[in-house]
Every structure is written in C-alpha cells, then in structure tokens.
Structure 1
C-alpha cells in the first residue's frame, strides 16, 4: 500500500492535482480520503456557534480519528469515513465505507501539520498557488457549492483563511517531498508522481 499526502492552501488546486494523478490508474486500486471528512463533530453546539468555528486551525480536525483510520487501512481493514456538511458546519451522521487499496491519497489543507499523519505518508506533496488565485477559486467554490455569500467569504478570508495559511499551512512546505505549482498544468511533477506510483504497484504485484 502506498499512502500519499497532498496538502496546500485553500483553493490551491489540490483536487485538480489528485484527478490528474489518478486519471490513468485503475479505479479499484485507488482510495481518496479528504481531510474535510474529519472536521470534529459539533452536534453539541448551536448553528450560530458552529459558524464561528475556525475551520482553518488544526484544532478543528479530528486527527486522532484520521490516524486510526489510516492505520486500519494499513492493516488491511475497512472503516466508516464520516460525511461532513459545509452547509450545516457539522457531520451528517452518515458514513461511507472505505476499503483498503493499493494507493491511498489523503488530501487537505492541514494534513502535513500533524507529525503522526506525516509519518504514515510514503510521499508528501504540497500544491502551491498564488494567493490571489486561491482567493478567486475559494470565492467561486464557496458561493456555488457551500451556500456562502460574497461578503461572508471575503470576511472569512481576511480574518481567518489568510492568517491561518501563513501560520499553519505555508510552513508545511518544508515537510513536502514534492512541491507542485498549479499556475499551469505541471506535467513533469504529475508524471513523476505517476511513475513512482506505477513502480510501487508493479513491485507489489511481482
């Protein structure tokens, strides 16, 4: 099993990079786990209280659960991955059964901030994008997919996203084995990662 961690700021293009990496891999050999599924359960809080949570701080993530789930996969066991709602700012109570695969990709803005999770990654990738580009992508996504309005997204970016990025996310570049700039389609980096994955899969099968 090859476990790959893909980090980077909000709106940096992590999802695009994941898709580019896996598009030539057999579907039944890849498992994708999103850090977003591991926001802590906030059922005990009111909606107004949940809205005020700093979701870009490492304390918002249930890293213990994520570590346990990754260890279960390494043992060859399946687990129930939580489902998170960005509209309700809480877990839905539903889960998705996640099975062990030859390639496991974990993606999220904060996944390289936690030492126990970093140790589980065979390859650590940081996706870099210009801050203006990240803001534009975040605006489009949050308004279209998460029910936010323009003022809310801009306010959150200025008060939370930008300072959290500078404090927690940007420094994790130093842990990355590969840094991918996404201001263009970076064929060299993506092909390098695909090559490493294919070598691992071939070695596993032989």
Structure 2
C-alpha cells in the first residue's frame, strides 16, 4: 500500500499544540488521520520527590525513548496498529490508559524534538511549526502545570528558565525557518484550519499523482 502522508508538528511549551491537534479532528475525518505523540515515550524515572522533580530536566532529547518512538512510527507507516501506555508525567494520582494508534492515510507526529531526531525528521512530508509569544506561552504553562500537575509557581518558573527555554532555543528554534508552515497560535480565532486542511490536501494530491 502507499506510504501514508506524514506531518510533523512541533512547538514549544505553551505554544498551543494540544489545542491545535485536538482541533484537527474537527476538520479531518476520524479514520483519515492518526496522531502519535512524543510525550508518550518519556523514559520512566520512577517516583521523584517534589524537589527531585523540580530539578530533573525532562526537556532534553535523552529523556525520550527515541528507538521505541521511531519503531512505533515505522509500524504506522507500514499500516500496523500501535498499542502503548499513556505517559502521565510522574503524576501519582493519574492512572495511565492504554492508547491504540490505528494506521491512517495521514500520520501526524508531534513533539518537541521531532525535527531534532534525524530519523523522524527525514520521513516527514510536511513540517509544521506552532509558534506563540513567549509571555503567552508562559501564561499557558503556568495555568496547565498549576491546575493539572499541582506544581508551585516557583517550581514552574525554575523549569521554565532553566529547562524549557534553553531546550527550546537549542533543539527546536533552529528548525523554525525550515518548516513548511509556521502557525502563529497567539489567538485561537486567528488559526486558519480550513487553509491548513487545504494545504495538506494539496500536498497529498501531489504526492499521490504519478
């Protein structure tokens, strides 16, 4: 069968990737695309104390099991289903779900390091960079980590300044200008999802035209 069309979507913390990805299902049929997230491939580090969790840098490529990540991506490209356990970000109160990714004509790979990992980057047919103003991204990060993960303001700011922004500058920002589409996600209503869908369909048509 024809290799699926592969879209890579990356963006820094607080850029609004989660909203963008969820919205895709409103514009594409459920069986038309599958999303596989780098976040579900963090290498388990066991239970950490609050202080250990604060100091542990999750924003480095080595925290990801990239071999397993790429192996599962390859399965989808060969029209095989992938079954994996949801990563719960070391939240002891969260019960991980078993997630099934079923193959589809469009495979969406998302994550912070997908452009940095050469093996993943080279299989992408389209690269999307989700961008947002730093102040807004931090505001979103503060809201999420306080409400969903129970982190203190101090811990969030420590990670932002010492982990998040250095990793963004080193592993993601250098790829921004190489992206096929840069989406400014500062205001939800400004995202042209219809235009994005048309761009994907146009590229898909060209790919499948002899």
TM-score normalised to the size of structure 1?
Answer: 0.86
Name the residue aligned to 2:48: 47
What 5-or-longer segments of structure 1 have no aligned partner? none
CA spacing shift, 1:87–1:144, aligned 2, 3 Å: farther
Is the Cα–Cα contact under 8 Å of residues 27 and 194 in structure 2 kept in the other structure?
Answer: no
Q: Which runs of 4+ in 1 moved over 4 A?
A: 91-94, 201-204
What are the equivalent positions in structure 2 for 1:153-164 lying under 5 Å apart? 153-164=156-167
TM-superposition CA deviations, 1:92-140 (whole Å, max 9, x none): 7753222101222122222111111011211110011111111000000
**Aligned Cα RMSD in Å?**
2.5
Name the residue aligned to 1:194: 197
Name the residue aligned to 1:18: 21
Deviation at 1:201, TM superposition (A): 7.2
Is the Cα–Cα contact under 8 Å of residues 47 and 88 in structure 1 kept in the other structure?
Answer: no
Deviation at 1:169, TM superposition (A): 1.8
Higher strand share: 1
CA spacing shift, 1:177–1:18, aligned 2, 3 Å: same
Name the residue aligned to 1:135: 138
What 5-or-longer segments of structure 2 have no aligned partner? none
Is the Cα–Cα contact under 8 Å of residues 125 and 180 in structure 1 kept in the other structure?
Answer: yes
- Does 2:102 align with 1:70? no
Deviation at 1:10, TM superposition (A): 0.3
Deviation at 1:60, TM superposition (A): 1.0
Q: Give, in whole Å, the separation in 1 of the partners of 2:113 and 2:207.
A: 31
Is the Cα–Cα contact under 8 Å of residues 21 and 193 in structure 1 kept in the other structure?
Answer: no
- Does 2:164 align with 1:175? no
Name the residue aligned to 2:153: 150
Name the residue aligned to 1:114: 117
CA spacing shift, 1:64–1:50, aligned 2, 3 Å: farther
* Number of residue equivalences: 200
Deviation at 1:193, TM superposition (A): 2.6
CA spacing shift, 1:191–1:92, aligned 2, 3 Å: same
TM-score normalised to the size of structure 2?
Answer: 0.84
Q: Secondary structure at the match of 1:59?
A: helix
Q: Secondary structure at the match of 2:56?
A: coil
Is the Cα–Cα contact under 8 Å of residues 112 and 175 in structure 1 kept in the other structure?
Answer: no
Deviation at 1:182, TM superposition (A): 1.2
